[in-house]
C-alpha cells in the first residue's frame, strides 16, 4: 500500500491542473473516492479509486441560502439543526447542486416566534445576512394568522393601528380577512409576540401563525420541516 497523500494532490496528478484548481473541483462536489463524493481537499487517499465528474466546472463553491418551513415548537435560533440531507425538499427546482458543505455554518435569520411555523432563512452568505439584519425594519413580511373570537366592524382597524407594544410605538400594518377565521398580515419590523398582541387589541385570540413571505421571497410549497435552496440571483 502506498503512503497516504492529500486528495487535492491526487486530483492534480490525474488532471494535470494546479493544486488550487484541484481544491475547487473537490469543494465543488465533483470528485468521488471509491464512488462516494468527498468535499475535503485534505482527505487522505492511498489506493482508492479517485474520479472526477466529466461535467466538472472550475469555480469557488458559492455560499448557500436555505429556505426552511419551520414547524411550531422549534425556536428560530435552533432551526438550522433541521436542515439535513433527509429534509431536503424533493421537488427543489432552484438549480443549485446540493453539497454537504451547504449544511454547515448556517445562520438563522429573521426571528420567528417559537409557537409559529413558516418561512425561515438559513444562510452562509454574508450578503444575505447584511440585507436581512441591517434592513430588517424595511422588509415586509407576510403572515397567515388563524384566530377565534367575535369580529366586529372595527376589528381590523384596532389590529392594524394598535398603538404600542411593550412600551414601543407601532407603525400601522396591513391586515385583511382571508376567510372567516384567518387574517393575512403584511407588516414591517414585526417584533416577537407582536401579532398576538395586535389580535388581542382587536378582541381576538390567536390559534396559529404561519409566515408566508419575507420581502420578495415566499415559502411556496415547501412541506413542514423541509427546505429548499434560494435560487441564485434571488433578492429579498
Q: Which domains does the chain have, with CATH numbers?
A: 5-52 (3.10.290.10), 65-229 (3.30.2350.10)
Q: What pLDDT does residue 185 have? A: 98
Q: What pLDDT does residue 158 have? A: 96
Q: Grid coordinates in use for 47?
A: 489506493
pTM of the model: 0.84
Q: Grid coordinates in use for 48?
A: 482508492
Neighbours of 25 (CB within 10 A): 24
Element (H, E) at 65: strand 65-70
What is d(CA 125, CA 133) in angstroms, rounded to the nearest whole number?
12
Q: What pLDDT does residue 1 have? A: 59
Closest CA to 65 of 106, 101, 24, 112: 106
Q: What pLDDT does residue 28 have? A: 82
Strands of 133-233, DSSP E: 140-148, 164-165, 168-169, 174-177, 182-188, 205-214, 217-218, 227-229
Q: Phi and psi dihedrals of 209, rounded to 5?
A: -130, 135
What is d(CA 54, CA 59) in angstroms, rounded to the nearest whole number?
15
Q: Is 175 helix (H, G, I), strand (E, B) or coil?
A: strand
Q: Is 156 helix (H, G, I), strand (E, B) or coil?
A: helix
Matching residue, cell 430588517 = 136
Is 140 in contact with 133 (CB distance < 8 Å)? no
Closest CA to 93 of 127, 67, 122, 58: 67
Q: Grid coordinates in use for 209?
A: 401563525
Instruction: Kindly give the parts of the chain with pLDDT less than 70.
Output: 1
Q: Grid coordinates in use for 178?
A: 382571508
Amino acid at each position: 500500500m502506498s503512503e497516504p497523500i492529500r486528495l487535492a494532490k491526487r486530483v492534480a496528478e490525474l488532471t494535470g491542473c494546479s493544486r488550487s484548481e484541484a481544491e475547487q473541483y473537490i469543494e465543488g462536489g465533483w470528485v468521488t473516492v471509491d464512488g462516494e463524493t468527498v468535499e475535503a481537499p485534505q482527505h487522505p487517499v492511498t489506493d482508492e479509486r479517485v474520479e472526477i465528474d466529466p461535467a466538472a466546472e472550475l469555480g469557488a463553491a458559492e455560499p448557500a441560502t436555505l429556505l426552511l418551513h419551520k414547524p411550531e415548537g422549534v425556536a428560530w435560533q435552533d432551526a438550522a439543526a433541521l436542515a439535513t440531507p433527509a429534509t431536503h425538499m424533493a421537488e427543489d427546482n432552484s438549480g443549485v447542486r446540493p453539497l454537504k458543505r451547504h449544511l454547515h455554518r448556517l445562520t438563522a435569520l429573521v426571528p420567528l416566534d417559537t409557537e409559529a411555523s413558516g418561512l425561515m432563512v438559513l444562510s452562509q452568505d454574508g450578503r444575505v445576512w447584511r440585507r436581512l439584519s441591517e434592513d430588517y425594519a424595511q422588509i415586509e413580511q407576510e403572515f397567515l394568522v388563524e384566530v377565534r373570537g367575535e369580529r366586529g366592524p372595527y376589528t381590523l382597524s384596532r389590529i392594524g393601528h394598535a398603538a404600542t407594544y411593550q412600551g414601543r410605538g407601532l407603525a400601522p400594518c396591513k391586515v385583511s380577512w382571508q376567510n372567516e377565521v384567518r387574517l393575512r398580515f403584511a407588516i414591517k419590523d414585526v417584533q416577537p409576540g407582536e401579532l398576538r398582541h395586535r389580535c388581542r387589541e382587536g378582541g381576538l385570540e390567536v390559534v396559529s401563525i404561519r409566515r408566508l413571505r419575507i420581502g420578495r421571497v415566499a415559502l411556496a410549497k415547501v412541506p413542514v420541516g423541509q427546505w429548499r435552496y434560494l435560487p441564485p440571483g434571488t433578492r429579498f
